[in-house]
Structure 1
Amino acid sequence: MDDLARLAARAHKLLRAASDAAMSRHGVRVGQNLVLEILWEEDGLTPGELAARLGLTTPTIVNTATRMETADLVVRRRDPSDARLVRLYLTGRAREVRAPIEQERRRLEERVAAALTEEERRCVRSALEKIIDELS
């Protein structure tokens, strides 16, 4: 098991570095692209709603949103029907980087899976889903 954990940690580190390099070319930090992906599909979510969809804590999303607001990727607005809630909305800049970010993610996935057969890809996906389920 030590080998599996070590290999997973090494793969995570390398994948995170490659993702960060790809996203930073467009002014987006690694992790922020995941928030953007959700908001591109459904704009105006609360930090709590985003946290639930990403399996993160609300404070993590609030901190990420603060950095994203500074980078002109999102704006915060009070919910019109419940002023206690804050919702996150995409900026024009966030909409502009959608196509390049999606292209970077496709390239990265192709690079990650380049040496794998289709069957190996299915097995890796299945194994990762099982690991995530077990540890969640």
Structure 2
Amino acid sequence: MDDFLTLLVRTHKLLQAASDEAMNRHGVRIGQNLILEALWEADGLTPGEVAARARLPITTPTIVNTATRMEAAGLLTRRRDPNDGRLVRLYLTDRARAARQPIQEARRRLEDHATATLTDEERDHLRTALTKIIQRLDADQADSNRG
């Protein structure tokens, strides 16, 4: 069956597996790259700030659990906020900073490979269509959270 949702789920699963393989080469698990991306842009965020920046349905407790594994892997450290001891901030290690370029390159190569059979126009249409789907579903989720 090749209906829209089946195609989207199959695409997601295949991209997730390929992403996980690409990230593993650099000592990063799938999902951890999202935390790294947020911290590469602004080191020292709280888990809640990372969750908000990820622009995905990721909860703060999920970020905290993932950060624990990342700390054990030597990718980040956690420190109390000097102005508010109730807050914990996440900081990149040198290892995580050094992984930025290789991980971004691996993601670019994966995107190029996955879309290699598409024309530039098809890539633009796909990006536009996916963005519209995300906006619609985000709006639906926001509406359901309000009441």
- Report the TM-score, using the length of structure 1 for normalisation: 0.96
Q: Provide Cα deviations, 1:30-76, integer angstroms capped at 9, x if missing partner.
A: 11111111111110000000101113211111111111111110110
Structure-to-structure mapping, 1:17-36, within 5 angstroms? 17-36=17-36
Q: Which one of 74, 77, 91 corresponds to residue 75 of structure 1?
A: 77
Identity %: 67
What is the root-mean-square deviation of aligned Cα atoms in Å?
1.0
| Aligned equivalent of 1:104 | 106
Residue 87 (structure 2) aligns with: 85
2-structure distance, mates of 1:35, 1:114: 28
Distance (Å, rounded) in 2 between the aligned partners of 1:3 and 1:105? 27
The CA deviation at 1:103 is 1.0
Question: How far apart are the structure 2 equivalents of 1:122 and 1:51?
Answer: 27
CA distance in 2, matches of 1:13, 1:97: 24
The number of aligned residues is 135
2:126 counterpart letter in structure 1: V
Structure 1 runs (4+) greater than 2 angstroms displaced = none
> Partner amino acid for 2:136?
E
Unaligned runs of 5+ residues in structure 1 are none
CA distance in 2, matches of 1:4, 1:66: 37
Greater alpha carbon shift after TM alignment, 12-21 vs 59-68: 59-68
SS in structure 2 at match of 1:15: helix
- Compute the displacement of 1:116 (Å): 0.6
Letter in 1 for 2:76: V
Which residue pairs with 2:142 in the alignment? none
Deviation at 1:131, TM superposition (A): 1.2
Deviation, 1:134, is 1.6
Q: CA deviation at 1:83?
A: 0.4
